[in-house]
Amino acid sequence: MSNGPDFSLELAAQAQGHTRIAGVDEVGRGPLAGPVTAAAVVLDPARIPEGLNDSKRLSAKRREALFDVIMDMAEVSIAHASVEEIDALNILRASHLAMERAVAGLTTPPDMALIDGNLIPRNLSVPAQAVIRGDALSVSISAASIMAKITRDRIMWDLAQQFPGYGWESNAGYPSKSHKEALQNLGVTPHHRRSFKPVHNILYQGKSVSN
């Protein structure tokens, strides 16, 4: 059994005639606040960074180190769907929108995209293959998962400085106990997802904060 992701899915795609393979992943479906973030990464087969893995299996220090290595050694595009888009579309469609934007943002369009999950975004501009648990199987997808997570964590850290008390610097907007208590005590910020039940329920009770 493999100890981590490898390049076999990319090699299989290359055998079908695709030369530029992008790994695509998103992070941030579960939080109550902040955008959903996606990354598309095209690795150089001759310069694959060592230690790539599902971002959730890596320490924060290791993710940070790999972020810089991937940025230096691969082609990377990172994109987002906003809280407003999440509320207007639903979180699944918004996460797919972020993926579509990430792929479209690559300087040179890939021939194929390997998408983490079991669904292919409907408006993707290139042929694609959905890969369940792709971030643990494909180095390209694992690289994308690292880039998306670090970027989103940094966004949430910045927002935590503007809206202290919700713990976003540590919970990244996920519904931790302290975050939910802060929602009750401090109210809803402009960066909370109003379509998510814990936020919607508090808004219905009439407690929110402005800027």
| Binding positions for a divalent metal cation | 25-26, 116
In terms of Cβ atoms closer than 10 Å to its own Cβ (0-12, 13-18, 19+), residue 3 is exposed
Is residue 36 within 8 A of residue 173, CB to CB? The reply is: no
How distant, in Å, are the alpha carbons of 65, 85, 115, 176 from that of 112?
Answer: 27, 26, 10, 37
Distance of CA 44 to the CA centre of its chain: 21
For residue 173, what is the enclosing H or E element? Answer: none
Rounded CA-CA distance 141/40 in Å is 8
Binding residue ranges? 25-26, 116
How distant, in Å, are the alpha carbons of 23, 78, 87 from that of 196?
Answer: 29, 24, 8
For residue 115, what is the enclosing H or E element? Answer: strand 112-116
Name the DSSP class of 48.
Answer: P
